[in-house]
Amino acid sequence: MFKSLIDKYPLYASALIFGGLGAINSFLYFFFLIAFKMYPFSGVYFITFIINALFIVISIWYFRYLLNNYVFHFWQALSVGIAANLIQTFIYCAIVAGFISSFAPDFLQVYIDVEQQKFLLDKPVFIANISESQFNEMLKSIEQISMSDIIIRLGKINGSIGIIVVLIASMLLRRKEILESPLNTPPTKK
């Protein structure tokens, strides 16, 4: 059944397969960070972007080389890449939201505390541009962050980075037809 899906809809199948695999691998990395008591949105989070980018490129490559017999256009690369990016982002955000709400209920408070600490470290930069009262209002607004705000932010970041990767990979992996005749035909005599 799965093979017939790939044969019938190769564009959607490659996006679904590698978008799902990318989301699962990104979540495994997120889980690894949580399990070892590391803050998952710190500087080590860039590896999630690398995982997402890798699976977007693999989905485009898979469609080009294995499913479409080298006939490949820029719009097809964009379609596969954007679909894989959307699937990755939605599945990853849903898994993270479910995991945090079920198994890490204190994560929201940790997130708020870390964001407030980062904000306080940048206080001199903010105070140079805004007043003290505006800074305090912004600091209080961090306390109002909800779990949906975190998930929406996560989706925006992953989705926007994915779009950049899709554009670059689509340009690099597209194929232009150079020869009009097959390679094995002999040249014609004049």
Contact at 8 Å (CB) between 101 and 107?
A: no
What's the whole-number mean pLDDT along residues 39-66? 85
**86 compared with 176, residue with greater pLDDT:** 86
Contact at 8 Å (CB) between 100 and 107?
A: yes
In a domain, 10, yes or no: yes
- pLDDT 10s digits, 109-127: 888 888 889 888 888 887 7
In a domain, 188, yes or no: no
Q: Count how many domains the chain has.
A: 1
In a domain, 189, yes or no: no
What's the whole-number mean pLDDT along residues 70-99? 89
- pLDDT 10s digits, 149-186: 989 988 998 888 889 999 998 888 776 554 444 555 55
91 pLDDT band, cuts 50/70/90, is very high
Whether 47 has a pLDDT exceeding 80, the answer reads: yes
**102 compared with 174, residue with greater pLDDT:** 102
In a domain, 65, yes or no: yes
What's the whole-number mean pLDDT along residues 33-47? 81
